[in-house]
Chain A
Amino acid sequence: MTNQPVWQPSASQAALESRAQQLSFVRGFFAQRQVMEVETPVLGRHGVTDLNLDGVYADVSAAGISGGWLQTSPEYHMKRLLAAGSGSIFQISKVFRDGERGSRHNPEFSMLEWYRVGFDDAALMSEVSDLVCGWLGCARPRIVAYRDALITCAHIDPFESSDRELRRSCEQWLEPEQLAGMGRDACLDLLMSFAVEPHLGRDVPEFIVGYPASQAALARVSTQDGHRVAHRFELYIDGLELCNGYWELVDASEQRHRFEHDNQLRRLAGKPERAIDEAFLQSVEAGLPECAGVALGLDRLLMLKLGTRDISDVLAFPFERA
């Protein structure tokens, strides 16, 4: 990372051309399936309450209104369209996450997000496969349970193990004093990132399903084999996390409860609380249709297409050059 100005793009001309082809492939894919393209604000009045997502605050003022956040995802706005009767929709948009920069992260990135009315998680996974395999020409993904992946790669049962056992299995990466303040989910994130992820999707792409209910985010939860699991899926190809999808939660009071719980976690972590997006909650209350939705990182999809391990190879101007 440098602070010296560099005017040239970091992506090759071939990568820029491939990006353009990818965009037209995606638009063609949804046109064929009669899914409507929409645009929602990149600059919203509210941020998100998620513990581990930091939005970029935008100090905007206009006509008696001030503040705002660059969106971490178009999810809330798109769901408001769904509640208003849009039917199935997709969007290609820029999203923003503060503090995220690395070989797979840039603070600003391109996201493809789509919602299918009447679909559940299984139906949407099938459509994700159509899109991803159609573009990459790869084998169709197999489905792996989160629990099985953790047991196989990290030798720990994410549902049955005690907090103590979970922390102990993290000792390979962190010192005891670093582990002291870490909850179950943070430990699981560590194991997922370092022990599991590198092995996922090596031979064929892999969907991970059945996340712990504590990591449901905006997915509905059900009981499977005695465990509370989220109807959430992620797709991994060659160790790279490509998308995150939900069979969407349509229960407004449960949704409010989760936002409030998020803020509790933020308080405990010493982070500022975030105002809850009431307009979004009202739309869920008014009636979010039964649907499934997924967010897919387009820059990473392009990385896979071009066989590169560095996101800078597919971005015209990563943050240091922007």
Chain B
Amino acid sequence: MTDFLTSPGVFYAILAVFAIGAAGAPALGRSNRAANFWGNGLAIAGSLAGLAFSGAVLIDGRTPAFSADSTLPLLSFSFRLDRLSAFFMAVICFVALLCSVYALGYVRHYYGKYSLGLLGFFYNIFIASMIVVATAHNALFFLIAWEVMSLASYFLVVYEHRESANVRAGSLYLVMTHAGTAFIIFSFLLMHQATGSFDFEAIAGGMAQASPLARNAIFVSALIGFGMKAGFIPLHIWLPSAHPAAPSHVSALMSGVMIKTGIYMLIRICFGIMPAVSLWWGLLIIAIGAVSSLLGVLYALSEHDLKKLLAYHSIENIGIILLGLGSALVFSSLGMDSLAALALAAALFHTVNHATFKALLFLGAGSVIAATHTRNIEKYGGLIKRMPQTALFFLIGSMAISALPPLNGFFSEWLTFQALFQGVNAFDVTTKIVFILAIGSLAFTSGLAAACFVKAFGVTFLARPRSNDASQAKESEIFPRLAMAGLAAAVIGLGLFSGRFLRLLSGVAGSLANTHNAAAADAAGFSSVSVQNGFAQISMPAVFIALGLAAAAIAMAVFLWTRRRRVLTGPTWDCGAALTPRMEITATGFSRSIITVSRRVLRPRSETEIEYHDANRYFPKAGEVTMGLHDIYRTYIYRPLQDLTTVVAGLMTRVQSGNINAYILYILLTLIGLLFFLGSSIPS
């Protein structure tokens, strides 16, 4: 069975399914319904098959490698699925599967407004290109897939093209992602210069001879290039505008999965292609992770657009993943293989966790937005009564992302903490300080994330509706609810069976070049996970059961005790004034104190507008406070860069005379120059 499942034919068939899905959807474009079911149905089929394929590879432990012929030199369409690739492919397919199920119902609100055929086309291409990105084994082929992925996601971002904000977000994304691609190309060219090949296997083999300078240059440019996609600070500015612009199931894919392809390549390069890393690489990544996680969650707190808020949390979670990845690099540069495997397993675990709960949250947000027609959380309220199931799923996602036990987010943060503890334990003063600050930032991050999701969930779902739309909201259809239920089950399941899953991930981490042998985490008995020979132990099922038993016992005891007491319903205490939604706390009010506390970092600005009953301004009628943040990245990093580009472009226009004779002269001069250059460099 696994022989068949892991054969190249099946893999090509999976890609073919997506291709058929992509090609067929525009062809059926006349009928919204047909295009919807064709596009999403084939995406479901392809993802299911992809999940089976990658799952079989993971369980089976073999590494299928195959390639299709190419007539171009240096380029080969070669695939190789080691465990890391298979793991990322499985995550992509799993999230894509549920997002496609969700889309079956969700995209109905586009009927008659936007073309479903185009959506189906780019959606299928997008998923297929992510699968190829995770499995390609040749740098040029990888770049093609990477570019296809970026373009497909660009078209999905600008799908609702009648809103000018979306088009602007798309343009920013396009510019940023291509700046990133330039750095990626540079790092691949450096690899080629050092090893003479674009094949990942050959590069890994030849990298040992490369000079330290070349390695460092490759690392830095790869970090910038792939970091642009992963969206860590300060390369993140496209992310909070691009993710909300796309349709919600695409946001879920972009935020849950696409940004992870950047993480995937960072792992691939640091652990597969360039073993024997330097210490400062790891420390740099830990520092970036600490800053990204802390700032990401702070920006999320000040955000009142539900999808933007979730997008900022992606930056936070990428930061947490980087904390694990950075520790893994530090450990591996010091030859502590088993600790490196532990830290890497923590990063991978958080990767899959973030993919599940962030997709769940984006899908929940999509349902809320479809029901209320606004992304502004100040306009929600009381939705828990109107959309009870969506509320429950969103609550599960909120608790998971806030790292509350016994859900999956807690376990991966626990593992990341353990990796950081080992770092404090082991080294010289500088490294120690970095690790201690990383622990602090992770602790503050999870606390602030909890605050942010109390705000997001509380203001969205609890209390009374604050707008007409919110009071008339309806629960979403069956397919969206099914998809959210599936993801919620995954969130709970990954928490409950974390021990088993960790064993799988330790295998993935252990299979990479410089983390060989044994994992430091060990799952035994009652799924009790033990880290570093009993330095720490935990059993998620036990926490689960203990909480359940305790709650049940108390409920029972209180019920028996107070059986005869009545429960009456009455209005909320209104302090003598009429009870209106205005008395509830707003999202601005909720986060105001935290933002004020961190004003040095966030640079908030607030505008107060008050309307008065009288000309003398004694009796206020209505007041509104708007809080926003100064965009320090644009002011201090991107605006100067943009200005510089404009200046350089202005200088270039002097060369560009518009006279065709001049251009021919340039070509001639270039040719002569090249001939001299080549003539002197080729030995006769």
Is chain B a partner of chain A in the same complex?
A: no
Q: Which residues on B are within 8 Å of A, measured CB to CB?
A: none
